[in-house]
Amino acid sequence: MELSVNLTNSFQGIAVSPGIGIGRVMKLAGPGNVAPERLSIGDSGIEAELERLRCAITATADQLLSLQNELRRKLNNLDADIFEAHLMLVRDRTFVGEIEKRIKEEKCNAEYALYEALEHFQKVFATIRDEYLRERSLDLRDVGARLMENLTDVRDVMKGLDDSRVIVAASLTPSETARLDTSRVLGFVLETGSVTSHTAILARSLNLPAVVGVPGISLANLTGADKLIIDGFSGRVIVNPDSRTEEAYRLKARAADEFQARMKADNALPPETVDGFTVPLALNLDSACCDFSQLKGAGISGIGLVRTEFMFLNPHHHPTEEEQFEIYKKLLIDAGDLSVVIRTMDIGGDKVAAGITTLNEENPFLGLRGIRLALRERKDLFKAQLRALLRAGVYGNLHIMLPMVSSVTELWETREIIDELCCELQEQGLEHVRELPLGAMIETPGAALIAGELSRICDFFSIGTNDLVQYTRAIDRGNEHVSYLYHPAHPSVLQLIKKTVEGAKEGGIPVAVCGQMAADPALAVLLVGLGVNELSMVESAVPLVRRAIRSVSMYETVQAAEAALKCARAADVEEIVAGLLKTRFPEVAEL
């Protein structure tokens, strides 16, 4: 349903998470974000702001020290002193004194005082003749960004507000999103991102509307006094709507809720095509600590993906083996007989947090990400996670899945580590499972092309289409400038999915899809036709996908897939599947 809107007070972005959010703005500052909002704190707020600044300085110094130690360990003490300059800066009286002075004199929040102090020092550095000293301004920028991040602990930003808000920011990392008090968030409006950026994925699993790719200029003048309507279906954002517009959007929100409720009524029905083929539907969870009792009603066959990396993105604490064991154990007990696929930490790309790695990669999505980081950089964290999984496996139907697999060696190495850990656990007398199904995510064209080989040394595949599309189409999945090229239905992607299905057949193993493609009703039907055995998605997508599957025959899906594989353009493929779905499931057009 498209509403007519006065365009002068609205702007268009990319809709990445459906729903309508209406409320006042909460602007987030932080590294890479817009200048922080200046808040007047009065005399009574000064001490609290100074205390926040002291805490942020301590946290920053702690992080720098641990980075320095980590680097010393790796570099045998050489070159680790590069952090010494940063440590000196964060403790420097002139620098810290300047921020304190601004808090006291301007009676403003610590973020704003830091921002102003940084601007001031950057100007001073720019006038210095000595090149060496002038370059120290880079250190200042680095330390300033880290300090800002610690100061702007997103867990705190909603404190003291008496209402829920729409978050507005230039960018928001997955770790920031994961740490927000989401019970107070009405939605997200961001400058950067795309449908499969991890922040968008989190927004969908939190059932919060999100619009990204909004020009910074549109956001620059927004303040906490502004009210926004955010339309996560169309990507439109309206500033300070009049009462008629607001009422129209409230009606739209109600209609969307009613539609979802109608779809959910079918949750008890099997996800079966009209000619009797069952396509199991599973859930994607972005946290292992969820209340599974509520999800069981979704009529699903299990959990097809648990993204465990979000547990590691809190810069202040990484979960220990024991903590992870308790979390996985509870999830497995709650899930009962249902299969649970837990993916080992997929850290790297846009999912990074202070303290995990000291690398500063030019191209993180092509860097030490997922299984690569686990095997080469953080084997300690990987082993602790595998130990926790092997121990928790006793309590349910656990499958372990490895992210970003691109070679058979990574599977062999992991199997060796698992064998070693089993011996270790045996010696320590800790109960554990020796045999667990081990799966590989197929997320790169290379992995799809060697699917036959991979299928002989693992027990299942799950295709991560969010990444497969990114790597096949050479499109950064978080970059709003190229999101116009991001088409999961592109024939190049379909060929690789077909290749993966054929490879899986060689090894006699099943193939699931757990990327966003599985959550789109029309594309889900296409995946079934391509021979995929299971579809895993965010809970809110299950009812529609179930309906879509129940409205077509397997014969039709195979025919659609065959026709799609002959196409040259994504648009032609989309036309084929949309056409099929519209005739069989006309309500889908209501979306």
Residues lying near Mg ion in the complex (CB under 5 A):
443, 464, 467
- Among 464, 488, 503, 521, which residue sits at the site for ligand PEP (rule: CB under 6 A)? 464
Residue 150 touches which of ligand PEP, Mg ion, none (Cβ within 5-8 Å per kind): none
Residue 109 or 470 having the CB closest to Mg ion: 470
Interface of this chain with ligand PEP, residues 333 to 372, rule: CB under 6 A: 346
Q: Which does 465 bind (CB under 5 to 8 A by kind): ligand PEP, Mg ion, none?
A: ligand PEP
Please, what is the minimum distance in Å from the beta carbon of residue 131 to Mg ion? 43
467 or 574, CB closer to ligand PEP?
Answer: 467
Between residues 493 and 522, which has the closer beta carbon with respect to ligand PEP?
Answer: 493
Compute the distance between CA of residue 362 and CA of residue 454 in angstroms, rounded to an integer.
Answer: 29
Q: Which does 514 bind (CB under 5 to 8 A by kind): ligand PEP, Mg ion, none?
A: ligand PEP
Single out the segment in contact with ligand PEP by CB under 6 A; choices: 269-277, 430-438, 447-455, 464-472.
Answer: 464-472
Given Mg ion, ligand PEP, none, residue 164, with its beta carbon under 5 to 8 Å by kind, binds none
Among residues 111, 176, 377, 467, the one that binds ligand PEP under rule CB under 6 A: 467
State the pairing for strand pair 281-285/534-537.
parallel
Q: How far is the CB of 477 from ligand PEP (least distance, A)?
A: 8
Closest CA to 45 of 3, 88, 107: 107
Cβ-based nearer residue to ligand PEP, 346 or 410: 346
d(CA 194, CA 191): 10
Closer residue to Mg ion, CB minimum distance, 68 or 175:
175
Q: Which is nearer to ligand PEP, 29 or 496 (CB)?
A: 496
Footprint of ligand PEP on 278-307 (CB under 6 A): 305, 307
State the DSSP H helix or E strand holding residue 155, giving kind and residue range, or none if neither: none
442 touches ligand PEP by CB under 6 A: no
User: Is 577:551 a contact under the CB 8 Å cutoff?
Assistant: no
- Out of 514, 524, 561, 581, name the contact with ligand PEP by CB under 6 A: 514
- Under a CB-based contact definition with an 8 Å cutoff, are residues 88 and 60 in contact? no
The catalytic residues are 198, 514
Closest approach of Cβ 510 to ligand PEP, in Å? 16
- Of 408, 428, 441, nearest to 513 by C-alpha is 441
Q: Which helix (H) or strand (E) holds 17?
A: strand 14-17
The interface region with ligand PEP, picked from 20-28, 322-330, 405-413, 465-473 by CB under 6 A, is 465-473
Read off the amino acid at residue 309. Answer: E
307 binds, among Mg ion, ligand PEP, none (CB under 5 to 8 A by kind): ligand PEP
C-alpha to C-alpha distance for 368 and 353, rounded to whole angstroms: 14
- At its nearest, how many Å lie between Mg ion and the CB of residue 403? 6
Interface segment toward ligand PEP; rule CB under 6 A; list 25-33, 171-179, 458-466, 482-490: 458-466
Pairing of strands 236-239, 10-12: antiparallel
Instruction: Tell me: does residue 109 bind ligand PEP (CB under 6 A).
Output: no
Interacting residues of 213 by C-beta distance below 8 A, sequence separation 6+: 13, 14, 190, 191, 192, 193, 194, 235, 480, 483
393 binds, among ligand PEP, Mg ion, none (CB under 5 to 8 A by kind): none
Q: Considering only CA atoms, which of 28, 24, 13 is closest in space to residue 240?
A: 24
Query: From the list 339, 465, 540, 557, which residue makes contact with ligand PEP (rule: CB under 6 A)?
Result: 465
68 binds, among ligand PEP, Mg ion, none (CB under 5 to 8 A by kind): none
DSSP string, 38-81: P-B-TGGGHHHHHHHHHHHHHHHHHHHHHHHHHHHHHHTTTTTT
Assess contact for 346 and 307: CB atoms under 8 A: yes
Tokens in use for 86?
A: 């940063």
Taking CA atoms, 420 is separated from 78, 288, 400, 413, 414, in Å, by 32, 25, 16, 11, 10
Which of 412, 403, 415, 416 has its CA nearest to residue 372?
Answer: 403
Q: Does position 443 bind ligand PEP by CB under 6 A?
A: yes
Nearer to Mg ion among residue 164 and residue 197 (C-beta): 197
What is the size of the binding site for ligand PEP (CB under 6 A)? 11
* Beta carbon nearer to ligand PEP, 57 or 178: 178
Site for ligand PEP in 302-321 (CB under 6 A): 305, 307
Whole-number minimum distance, CB 338 to ligand PEP, in Å? 19
Pick from Mg ion, ligand PEP, none: which does 89 bind, CB < 5 to 8 A by kind? none
Residue 302 exposed, middle or buried by CB count within 10 Å (0-12, 13-18, 19+): buried
Stretch in the footprint of ligand PEP (CB under 6 A) among 207-215, 263-271, 390-398, 461-469: 461-469
Q: Which long-range contacts (CB under 8 A, 24 or more apart) does 469-476 make?
A: 469/196, 469/493, 469/515, 469/517, 470/196, 470/365, 471/443, 471/444, 471/445, 472/445, 472/496, 476/365
Interaction of residue 100 with ligand PEP, rule CB under 6 A: no
201 near ligand PEP (CB under 6 A)? yes
Grouping H, G, I as helix, E, B as strand and the rest as coil, residue 463 is strand
Helix (H) and strand (E) counts in the chain: 22, 16
Residue 171 partner contact from ligand PEP, Mg ion, none using kind-dependent CB cut-offs of 5 to 8 Å:
none
Alpha-carbon span 182 to 177, nearest angstrom:
8
Segment near ligand PEP (CB under 6 A); pick from 20-28, 79-87, 150-158, 462-470:
462-470
- List the one residue out of 185, 112, 175 whose CA is nearest residue 148: 112
Binding ligand PEP (rule: CB under 6 A), the pick from 466, 500, 533, 540 is: 466
CA pair distance 315, 317, nearest whole angstrom? 6
What's the min distance (Å) between Cβ of 462 and ligand PEP? 8
Under the phi-then-psi rule, with left for phi > 0, alpha for psi from -120 to 50, and beta for the rest, what region is 32? left
Provide the minimum distance between the beta carbon of 512 and ligand PEP in the complex, in angstroms, as a whole number: 10
- What is the binding site for ligand PEP (CB under 6 A)? 201, 305, 307, 346, 443, 464-467, 514-515
